[in-house]
Amino acid sequence: MREQLDTLLALSTENEVVEFKEAKNQFDKDKLGQYFSALSNEANLKGLANTWLVFGVKNDKSVVGTTITDAQLNDYKNEMAQHTSPRLSFELAERLEINGKQVILCKIPAAPQGQPVSWKGHYYGRDGESLGALHDNQRARIKIQNTALDWSAQIITDATINDLSKEAIDFARKQYIEKNRKIENDINSWDDASFLNKAKVTIQGKITRAAILLLGKPESDHFINPAQAKITWILKDKDNIEKDYEHFGCPFILTINQVQQKIRNLKYRYIKDGTLFPDEVEQFDPYIIRECLNNCIAHQDYTLNGKINVVEREDGILTFSNSGTFIPESVEHVINADAPESRYRNPFLANAMVNLNLIDTTGSGIKRMFNIQRKKYFPLPDYDVSNKKVQVSIIGKVLDVKYAKKLAQLPSLTLQEIILLDKVSKARKLTNEEAKELKQKFLIEGRKPNYHISSIVAINTDEKEQYIKNRGFKDEHYKKMILDYINKYGSATKENIDQLILDILPAVLDEKQKSNKVRNLVYALSKKDKLIENKGTGRYPKWLLSLSKLEKPDKF
């Protein structure tokens, strides 16, 4: 990010996609929203992924510094998400230091394809350095992007409003009122066709694929063939054998409730452990069920002609899956950014679902799911985004009591730290940056890829014995054991050394890694330290003390 800032400061002047603001201690939210709208729209028009707004730098690019706090930044983020349409916010706001002065680098996402970004109902753009209204032709250029690229926005010429479910339309109207209480009387005065246009489910009275998915009669699904409007619920026992199933189709706005009611949301009773855990909770939080279902509908790649699957296992695992690649960079990126994604597979469908109060685009849904599981001491949601599908598994029970105690007894852990520790507990790979972060905070020890919890965490969670087993001993300890064995018995074969060392090597090593460890120890003693030498033949080594060791018996 420092390199990015240096690049921006090297520009000869501001332009349509870069803005410098002095903002010594605050910035007017309304003005910020106008700049946000303008920069986002300009990024779209120029084919860029994002633009930049820099606080603490004057127009002449002299660094004056800013004292805007993290609390103020969070306030700005929330304000952007509340009053932009579609709802967007900063992808990141990073604090940097130049010559002892604080500068904040804000990354603003480009307007989604087909959706110019407005601030409080007005669209803004840039003409060089100047802020102004977004020209009609520019707004049209962004809007027309939808027609060619968005499957869900396509018009079905043969379909009419009679192909939509009246019950689904009435429920959609209630949802729309819930989101727009201030104009409830106006909404009630609209006829169905007007309501669907204003809710952006239809386009100028014409039925879209999104309208069929959300509001279509069950028999109307033929309009979107070969795509499928189907959600399948499957119940399996603990051995993964199917016991029951049911298919659900259009209209999805009603199907969501039907699928949720089908899921057997049993109560989970905790084993009492002082005041560590509550007595009883639902296995699956209703919010998580709805969030996962709605995400599957909004982000399904309908061109792949697959269906949405909900698999419930009797041993307390609920899995949701939909077709299509995972568009964001990663799940961790979504959580850390704490802002809406700038790209959607089905932007028209997603926007309709936002208007009908089914989903939000503030980027908080996945993060809220993680926090719900965290507060219940359950394993965090597990995402698999391979093979052109997105699958998320929700575990409705405590799998590892010791891991749950870590979370309960170390309440100062951040969500990011818990996500990384969850990876360690599941033996998942950490990136170099993730491992560095945990090591700097003394939460893990060990070498890549065999990390384990640190002594500090172990002391707090009564895992001191497991910590010692994971950590093992220093190499000098193992070397001394080998030398002591040879000194006492005159020699040692490979089998002798294996029996002596293998069982006490770090528990996080697998069998192959343990074997390599022993080989490296013997190599170091013979070639580097020159304390032992091989007097065996071929594949049958026989290690004896070398002359140098016999002359200096105190070594090691």
Over residues 262-311, the pLDDT tens digits come to 998 888 877 655 556 666 788 899 999 999 999 999 999 999 999 999 99
Which band of pLDDT confidence, cut at 50, 70 and 90, is reported for residue 489? confident
Chain segment 106-119, per-residue pLDDT in tens: 999 999 877 899 99
Residue 442 to residues 253, 332, 401, 507, Cα–Cα distance (Å): 48, 21, 22, 19
In 3D, which of 248, 336, 245, 244 has the Cα closest to residue 296?
A: 248
For residues 497 and 541, give the distance between their C-alpha atoms in angstroms, rounded to a whole number: 11
Chain segment 467-482, per-residue pLDDT in tens: 445 455 677 888 888 9
Residue 182 to residues 84, 199, 269, Cα–Cα distance (Å): 18, 15, 43
Chain segment 490-533, per-residue pLDDT in tens: 899 989 999 888 877 876 677 888 888 898 999 899 888 889 99
Average pLDDT on 2-11 reads 82
Domain residue limits, the chain: 2-144, 149-224, 401-471, 475-551
In 3D, which of 284, 324, 286, 319 has the Cα closest to residue 304?
A: 324
Chain segment 221-259, per-residue pLDDT in tens: 999 999 999 999 999 998 889 999 999 999 999 999 999
Percentage of the chain modeled with pLDDT above 70? 85
Contact yes or no for 81/364 (Cβ under 8 A) = no
In one-letter notation, the amino acid at residue 57 is V
Handedness of CA 179, 180, 186, 191 (dihedral sign): negative
Average pLDDT on 338-353 reads 77
Residue whose token pair is 């033949």: 537
**Beta strand 122-127 with 118-119: parallel, antiparallel or unpaired?**
antiparallel
Chain segment 26-59, per-residue pLDDT in tens: 889 999 999 999 999 998 888 788 899 999 998 8
Token reading at 219? 């028999």
Token reading at 550? 């016999």
Domain 2-144: which topology?
A: 3.30.950
CATH number of 475-551: 1.10.10
In one-letter notation, the amino acid at residue 387 is N
Map residue 491 onto helix, strand or coil: coil
In 3D, which of 524, 527, 521, 487 has the Cα closest to residue 506?
A: 521
What is the pTM for the complete model shown?
Answer: 0.57
The pLDDT value recorded for residue 465 is: 47
Where b means 16+ CB within 10 Å and e means fewer, 27-45 reads beeeebbbbbbbbbbbbbb
Alpha carbon of residue 3 to chain centroid: 26
In 3D, which of 231, 310, 321, 316 has the Cα closest to residue 265?
A: 316
The pLDDT value recorded for residue 462 is: 45
Residue 541 to residues 276, 366, 440, 495, Cα–Cα distance (Å): 55, 57, 43, 10
**Beta strand 542-545 with 492-493: parallel, antiparallel or unpaired?**
antiparallel
Q: Is the pLDDT of residue 464 over 50?
A: no
In 3D, which of 202, 207, 197, 194 has the Cα closest to residue 158?
A: 207
Map residue 94 onto helix, strand or coil: strand
In 3D, which of 328, 313, 178 has the Cα closest to residue 243?
A: 313
| Angle (deg, nearest 10), helices 494-501 and 475-489 | 130
Give the CA radius of gyration of the chain.
Answer: 30
Alpha carbon of residue 228 to chain centroid: 27
Map residue 57 onto helix, strand or coil: strand
